[in-house]
Structure 1
Amino acid sequence: MRPQNPPVAVAFMLTATAFIAATMLFAKSLGTETLGPPLHPLQISHGRFLFAFLTIATMAAVLRPRISRPHFGLHIGRTLFGWGGVTLMFAAVAYIPLSDATAISFLNPVFGMLLAIPLLGERVGPWRWFAAFTALLGALVLLRPGPDSFQLAGLLALGAAVVMGMELIFIKKLANREGPFQILLVNNTIGLVIATVAVLPVWVMPTPAQWAALAGLGMLMAAAQACFVNAMARADASFITPFSYITLVFASLYDLLIFDVVPDAVSISGAAIILGGASLLAWRERRAKAAS
């Protein structure tokens, strides 16, 4: 076990947030006409897993980590939901601002908490229910429920948060069973198989610029996962997880610089409400862990 080093953990997490927001930027560029004819979300997620696998497999060949027998049932479940969530998110960012999609994605721990009640038998107290309600209220604000402003694509991001919340159930079951690097390697290997089968009906030849963006997306995702694992290894999850919300700052900055999109008052309000609920949930998790 690595020694605790909170400053280094924060540096790793902030780097991960910058990389994750950049993957969303690449996905938006690939899903619109920025780099050529828009690619199908299934093809974008295939590129994400292909190049992430190549990156992690190269690291494995160099580092030669010890691999124990993986629990393939849990890995397949985790990867299937992870692939589904990523694909839905890539579909969403083609139509709504990166900041809105990123903010809605922060609901996945909320849905993970709700799903853990029937699937893991966890008990949820009033503060956690209040945090979940607050975050969901923020999502409702971002969806702009009105005949002239409703964001249908926002439902794709909401669906992604639900599916990735289910992924968290499998991640909890995998925790402490296997090493972080092994989990990344197995996850991206299975993900590549699933994504390859799914993309066959819609695959088209990307342009050179799109190939470069797909490679950048996959490699940045692998780098983000590595930074995230290193951050979690150097500090308590309850301390380091709230720093992941900085992803929203990077997403808004990239959207402004590349697509000239400025978050409006509704986007800022909805994001603030979601972050408030998510932060309250993280605080309660920390208090509960300290008391146990």
Structure 2
Amino acid sequence: MLLFLSWRRKFGSHDFCPHYSASAKMSHGCKFHLDCIQSNFRSIYVYRLCCRTAPTPQRSSWLMPKKLQDPTAKAVENLPQWPSFGRLAMTCDGVFKPITGSFGALPRNARGAIWVIIAGLFFTVMTALIKMIGDTIPVVQILFFRQIVMTCTVMPVLVLGFPGSLKTNFLKLHLARVMFAVVGMTCGFTALVNLPLAEATALGFAKSLFVAIFAVLLLREVAGPRRWFAVVIGFVGILIMTQPGGGGFNIYSLLAIAGAASAAAVMVIIRKISQFERPVTILSYQSILVGLIMIPPTLVYWVQPSLYEWLVMAAIGVLSVFGQLANIQGFKEGNASAVAPMDYTRLVFAAMIGFLLFGEIPEWTTAIGAGLVIATSLYTVRAEARAGESAL
């Protein structure tokens, strides 16, 4: 930057501008644009020299190498208007570009499906790690350190957007979303620790059924008789898995269902406030408030972790981050209606990992109930996708 300023003083501000002329000297001048794209994993600074009323000249100079001129400038101009969203997209591209290049010839939906499957594997391994240390470390403590790791990864976005990212007219909705998120994670992870991994995962898929119900009740969406029939069949599958009145029913099954309902409430609230709020605002309130809420219970139930448990908790946070990034990449590559069903491969991973690590063999009731829940969830996803396409 200092080198540029000294060069400008020596040669003048218009010597290098092809759009400058003596007659136009009074009408416009040149200015120096700094387009900064920052992400969690890398920072790219692209220096552009252009005129106020003319496009950037497409020629190389010693100020900007050829490899940074055309592609990066075009990418910057095509980014969404919200800088943080653009940084998140650039983060996904930067992290996964070496891998995506190897199967770039595949159809977009196929690439998206692969990324969603990879995300499902990350999330399933994360839940298995929670189950491994959940007997000795309280769930609230695990969630607290998981949130710390996730907040650290998005800290550059939060810092650059502060304090404007906290300006909102929907504070109550943000608070409600955060509270549902805390309740959902606490209930869901407690169920993971105490239930077979496959059963807890299958009960978590009931989230799609609750989303269909909450969307009608809270968002005034219209649902036809077929969708209501699918919801009823899905809850029949839940009853088969939990076996109320039988030996398979316990309080942890209820916690798993409560966690799914809370997660559905979070999704519905996000669907509502995303129409008015910037993504950086939603992300900021989640990162800050969830961590603050988890501090008191963590201090009350604190258990000093061993070195092994510290490493496992760090791995839980890292897997959460990479799972989210892979999920974003998957839905970015393909259509939601095509890639969303691949999320149900988590049940296969959960059954395999549960058998290999914990010696768990899924019961026939879990298999039948999970099949009904997955089938009805797929139907609701397809129905929402068709409704969205018809609305466009």
- Is TM > 0.5 for Structure 1 vs Structure 2? yes
Structure 2 partner of 1:46:
144
After TM superposition, give the deviation of residue 261 of structure 1 in Å: 0.9
Structure 1 partner of 2:121:
18
The one-letter amino acid paired with 1:69 is: S
Structure 2 unmatched ranges of 5 or more: 1-79, 81-88, 90-106
CA RMSD of aligned residues (A): 2.5
The one-letter amino acid paired with 2:261 is: V
The separation in 2 between residues aligned to 1:213 and 1:16, in whole angstroms, is 19
Q: Is the 8 A contact 1:46 1:199 kept in 2?
A: yes
The separation in 1 between residues aligned to 2:145 and 2:275, in whole angstroms, is 29
Structure 1 partner of 2:253:
154
Would you say how many aligned residue pairs link Structure 1 and Structure 2?
284
The separation in 1 between residues aligned to 2:294 and 2:205, in whole angstroms, is 24
Structure 1 unmatched ranges of 5 or more: 33-37
Structure 2 partner of 1:69:
165
The separation in 2 between residues aligned to 1:223 and 1:168, in whole angstroms, is 20
Candidates 226, 247, 257, aligned match of 2:325: 226
**1:1-292 superposed matches below 5 A:** 5-32=108-135, 38-57=136-155, 60=157, 69-70=165-166, 71=168, 73=171, 74-177=173-276, 183-184=282-283, 186-292=285-391
Q: Is the 8 A contact 1:31 1:94 kept in 2?
A: yes
> TM-score scaled by structure 2?
0.67
After TM superposition, give the deviation of residue 148 of structure 1 in Å: 2.9
The one-letter amino acid paired with 1:259 is: F
The separation in 1 between residues aligned to 2:281 and 2:328, in whole angstroms, is 11
User: Structure 1 or 2: larger helix share?
Assistant: 1
Of 90-99 and 76-85, more deviation after overlay is shown by: 76-85
The separation in 2 between residues aligned to 1:67 and 1:231, in whole angstroms, is 31
Query: Is the alpha carbon distance of 1:18 and 1:178 closer, same or farther for their aligned partners in structure 2, counting shifts above 3 Å?
Result: farther
Q: Deviations over 1:141-174 (max 9, x none)?
A: 1102234332331111011011111111111023
The separation in 2 between residues aligned to 1:97 and 1:163, in whole angstroms, is 21
The one-letter amino acid paired with 2:123 is: I
User: Structure 1 or 2: larger strand share?
Assistant: 2
Higher relative contact order (CA 8 A, sep 6+): 1
The separation in 2 between residues aligned to 1:28 and 1:265, in whole angstroms, is 22
> TM-score scaled by structure 1?
0.88
Q: Deviations over 1:167-196 (max 9, x none)?
A: 111110233545656644542332212212
Q: Deviations over 1:87-120 (max 9, x none)?
A: 1111101111111111111111211221222221
